[in-house]
């Protein structure tokens, strides 16, 4: 079974998501998308699979979002995708693909909704928060 995570190792949410995947017994394909950005076709496919527009995948914090005026409604999805391809840091993360679906896993426990084995037992995030999979709706 193939699981892929578009990962940023500097992001706590992304690290927690990766750890949950591994705790489920799976070793995912890890794509550090800042070093290996997706192609246009792959990014468009991810946005479609998640079921959000390009704007829904934009990250504001720690990015050139404001300086590029990306909050302006004038930008089309195609133009926003151009910006994400030029500045991969604008792509929100982590994105996880599994045979059960594709999700933007914010918060990290969203990954449990698409893992083949979501019964990972109690999981402690880096910030000390304990996630109990039995309490995550949709798992």
pLDDT on residue 17: 98
Please give the tally of structural domains in the chain. Answer: 2
Do 107 and 132 lie in one domain? The reply is: yes
Q: Tokens 């084995």 label which residue?
A: 117
Q: How far is CA 34 from the centre of its chain?
A: 13
Residue 40 within any structural domain of the chain: no
* pLDDT at residue 6 tops 70: yes
Range of the domain at 114: 1-33+93-139
Do 84 and 117 lie in one domain? The reply is: no
Cβ atoms of 6 and 91 within 8 Å: the answer is: yes
Among this protein's residues, is 105 annotated catalytic?
no
Q: State the catalytic residue, choosing from 3, 5, 8, 11.
A: 11
pLDDT on residue 132: 82
Residue 42 within any structural domain of the chain: no
Do 132 and 98 lie in one domain? The reply is: yes
pLDDT on residue 1: 66
Instruction: Tell me how far apart the alpha carbons of residues 68 and 124 are, in angstroms, rounded to a whole number.
Output: 37
Do 76 and 106 lie in one domain? The reply is: no
pLDDT on residue 84: 98
Do 79 and 53 lie in one domain? The reply is: yes
Do 109 and 134 lie in one domain? The reply is: yes
Residue 121 within any structural domain of the chain: yes
Residue 77 within any structural domain of the chain: yes
User: How many percent of the chain have pLDDT more than 90?
Assistant: 91
Q: Mind listing the pLDDT tens digit for each residue in 88-130?
A: 999 999 999 999 999 999 999 999 999 999 999 989 999 999 9
Whole-structure pTM over 0.95, yes or no? no
Three-state secondary structure readout of 48-111: HHHCCCHHHHECCCCCCCCCCCCCCCCCCHHHHHHHHHHCHHHECCCEEEECCEEEECCCHHHH
Q: Mind listing the pLDDT tens digit for each residue in 39-87?
A: 999 999 999 999 999 999 999 999 999 999 999 999 999 999 999 999 9
Do 102 and 81 lie in one domain? The reply is: no
């Amino acid at each position: 079974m193939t699981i892929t995570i578009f990962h940023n190792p500097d992001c706590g949410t992304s690290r927690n998501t990766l750890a949950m995947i591994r705790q489920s017994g799976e070793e995912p394909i890890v794509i550090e998308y800042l070093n290996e950005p997706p192609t246009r076709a792959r990014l468009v496919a991810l946005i479609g699979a998640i079921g959000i527009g390009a704007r829904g995948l934009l990250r504001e914090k720690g990015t050139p979002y404001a300086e590029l005026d990306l909050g302006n409604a004038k930008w089309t999805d195609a133009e926003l995708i151009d910006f994400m391809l030029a500045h991969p840091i604008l792509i929100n993360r982590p994105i996880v693909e599994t045979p059960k679906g594709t999700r933007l896993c914010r918060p990290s426990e969203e990954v449990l909704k698409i893992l083949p084995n979501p019964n990972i037992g109690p999981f402690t995030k880096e910030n000390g928060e304990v996630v109990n999979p039995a309490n995550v709706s949709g798992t």
